[in-house]
Structure 1
Amino acid sequence: MTHIGIVGAGAGAAAAAFTVDGAVPDADVTVFEKSGGLCGRAATRRHGDLTYDYGANYLKSDDERVVDLITETVDDEGLVDISQPIHVFDADGAVSPGRDGDEHKWSYRRGLTQIAKRLFGETDATVHRRTRIETLRRAGDRWEVDDADGATYGPFDALLLNPPAPQTADLLRSAEWESPVREALVDAVGDVPYRTIWTAVLHYPFALDVPYYGLVNTDKAHPVGWLSREECKPGHVPDGESLLVVQANHEWSVDRYDADPAENVAALAGHAADIVGDERLTDPAWTDHQGWRYAQPEGGVDRGPIDSARREGLYLLGDWVAGEARLHAALANGLDVGERVAYGI
């Protein structure tokens, strides 16, 4: 396969493109990303001297291939490891030490988006940003795609779909593709449940004296599901300052997704103050926010239809295909899919 199309420029897509480019030197890889950024929910923003990962928080070292990829294969300059532990809190906001083992918690001085940027940067792939693909078309034994402006791209020998499962299901429902596998594939992908997460980013001109990097709510009974300190990532926050990433739980996020962002930020700042035990946190100096409607898959997917679709040159990839809502799982799945595309397996 020499002409490869990829919809979505998330971490899995970056890993797949990297693998195909290395295994098939004459491969022509074209990537379509609806936003202006790369790496999907492993997203980074900058504000003045601040750098912050406001989606995925860090990369775990739970897959040897991913560890080798990040530390040995691609440039690891600026890779940083979070040394502070993760603690837990309950429905009442009571904090206690968690079970934080010896695994790495990686980011980059310039943020997690560096993962996709470096992987794509190692390839000859053409990446079309701000290009929303709306139609898939099976043209003979190859694939074409149409974007929102009516432009057609292809044909492709293989087409890889990297959006979250609900968005992938929408593309498959409207696809111009007559196949006995299509209905089962749409059902399988559409059945993957997702968590919605509304995130507040809170900056303070003072340092916090606490022993942890992150706090996770283990009983899922608090409006906040996760709270972390970006100052624990070298290069992200100037000395003497604090930057909190506060992620609401699913129920709170769904209920308040379309509410006034300023009210949501104020509410989450209040919860952060209560959990951390510092009333100063109710009054951040600067804030940002982001809603993630399809943040994290909560279940796996029936792999039968996905395996069948490969025989027609259609490949699905991402953390939801891997069955684990983790950045390393998305990367590992991308490596797997890239090998399947390259070697026709």
Structure 2
Amino acid sequence: MTSKLAVVGAGGAGAAAAYALRDAAVEVTVFEKSGGVCGRAATRRNDDCTYEYGANYLKADDERVTELVTETLPTDGLVDVEAPIYAFERDGEVGEGRDSDDHKWTYESGITQLAKRLFAETEATVHNGVRVETLDRQANGWRVHDADGIDHGHYDALLLTPPAPQTADLLGEADWDHDDCRDLRQTVASVPYRTVISGMLHYPFELDVPWYAAVNSDKAHDIGWLAREECKAGHVPDGESLLLVQMNEGWSVANYDAHPDRLLAEIAQRTAHLLDDDRLTDPDWTDHQHWRYAQPEDTVDRGTLAPAADHDLYFAGDWVAEAPRLHAAVRNGLEVGETLAEEL
């Protein structure tokens, strides 16, 4: 008998869970509020450029995920970002960093290929542009309703993969009797998140520096991360630069509601000052993204989530994983998917 699973969120964890269920007798339906997949590992294109403005790459910190990406899934267009990551502190002096030699992967057509290739190996149905708002617990399973009040039917189990604050909101709106999970919503809501504003700055010349990215190691600079998309094969035409500048939390929170023109002008000025290059104050085109929940600063105690399984409710994502990173979220999704394969 085939069971039905609803997955909220088509990010790395949701895609990996669907992949882990590809041979199980489970019908997987995924609801994703945005128009694409892979969540905060996001890709855009503009003016012959491809760029990642959330998670920048997949790190080689998990053997299983590394094998999946480099051997099991199709590897055409897989890019190894070979240039190192440097570091800087409050004084802005950029030098060699401790992660300078780590392997980092993306794709020529963007990091969203990770989720696309995982889903392509499955028969999962992905509904984009559907914002799940209410969840109703049934005698056996759940009903899913979107923000327009549409009932998407009954499912034997439910997997929630959005960032912890959004998952907590869904739990708060859910209609279910859960005395044994009374503190669940509060536990999920307590996971701290970093707010980040990302600015993308394009220039008709290429920077002459030896690094792919520089990270602010003491979190005392307005810029938290600066990366060069031209270091990724197929992302930026030769002779050009496209900088991804992610601002630190304090600056991002203080300027979250500012006009984009002012934001980008200030980001360009701070970038020029950090790299001591006045040309960088005047990019020829820009883009930006506000991430209210960019990255968890910690992960949840998974033992506190375990009782939810008695209600056919499961969780996955970077806030559930061993570490708040993309590779860990994918590994967590695989493991949760395998658990569901056994229990459904």
TM over 0.5: yes
| Structure 2: distance between partners of 1:50 and 1:256 | 27
One-letter amino acid of the counterpart of residue 14, structure 1 = A
Say yes or no: does 1:183 pair with 2:188: no
149-158 vs 203-212, greater mean Cα deviation: 149-158
Unmatched 5+ residue regions in structure 2?
none
| Structure 2: distance between partners of 1:266 and 1:336 | 44
Say yes or no: does 1:18 pair with 2:24: no
CA contact (8 A) 1:299 1:323 kept: no
| Structure 1: distance between partners of 2:323 and 2:283 | 34
Shift of 1:103: 2.7
| Structure 2: distance between partners of 1:65 and 1:239 | 34
Shift of 1:185: 0.9
Q: Name the counterpart of 1:299.
A: 298
One-letter amino acid of the counterpart of residue 213, structure 2 = G
Unmatched 5+ residue regions in structure 1?
none
Q: Name the counterpart of 1:86.
A: 85
| Structure 2: distance between partners of 1:164 and 1:196 | 12
Q: Name the counterpart of 1:246.
A: 245
| Structure 2: distance between partners of 1:287 and 1:220 | 24
One-letter amino acid of the counterpart of residue 54, structure 1 = Y
| Structure 2: distance between partners of 1:302 and 1:228 | 32
CA contact (8 A) 2:213 2:227 kept: yes
Q: Name the counterpart of 1:28.
A: 27
Q: Name the counterpart of 2:44.
A: 45
Shift of 1:182: 3.2
One-letter amino acid of the counterpart of residue 116, structure 1 = A
Q: Name the counterpart of 2:330.
A: 331
Local SS of the residue matching 2:340: helix
Q: Name the counterpart of 1:193.
A: 192
Local SS of the residue matching 1:338: helix
CA contact (8 A) 1:5 1:154 kept: no
Aligned residues with identical type, % of pairs:
59
CA contact (8 A) 1:16 1:339 kept: yes
Say yes or no: does 1:57 pair with 2:56: yes
One-letter amino acid of the counterpart of residue 344, structure 1 = E
Question: How high is the TM-score relative to the length of structure 1?
Answer: 0.97
Q: Name the counterpart of 2:114.
A: 115
- The C-alpha deviation readout for 1:88-136, integer Å capped at 9, x for no partner, is 1111211111123543110000010000111111111111100000001
Local SS of the residue matching 1:291: strand
Local SS of the residue matching 1:332: helix
CA contact (8 A) 1:51 1:110 kept: yes
CA contact (8 A) 2:299 2:324 kept: no
- The C-alpha deviation readout for 1:124-168, integer Å capped at 9, x for no partner, is 111110000000111102111101111112311110001000000
Local SS of the residue matching 1:167: helix
One-letter amino acid of the counterpart of residue 7, structure 1 = V
Q: Name the counterpart of 2:268.
A: 269
Local SS of the residue matching 2:311: coil
Q: CA RMSD in A?
A: 1.2
Q: Name the counterpart of 1:8.
A: 9
| Structure 2: distance between partners of 1:3 and 1:124 | 12
| Structure 2: distance between partners of 1:16 and 1:141 | 21
CA contact (8 A) 1:297 1:324 kept: no
Say yes or no: does 1:74 pair with 2:73: yes
Shift of 1:181: 3.2
One-letter amino acid of the counterpart of residue 283, structure 1 = D
Shift of 1:226: 0.2
Shift of 1:323: 4.4
| Structure 2: distance between partners of 1:220 and 1:127 | 38
The number of residues matched between the two structures is 343
Say yes or no: does 1:170 pair with 2:169: yes
Query: Which structure 2 residues correspond to residues 128-207 of structure 1 after superposition, within 5 A?
Result: 128-207=127-206
Shift of 1:319: 0.4
| Structure 1: distance between partners of 2:264 and 2:101 | 33
One-letter amino acid of the counterpart of residue 79, structure 1 = L
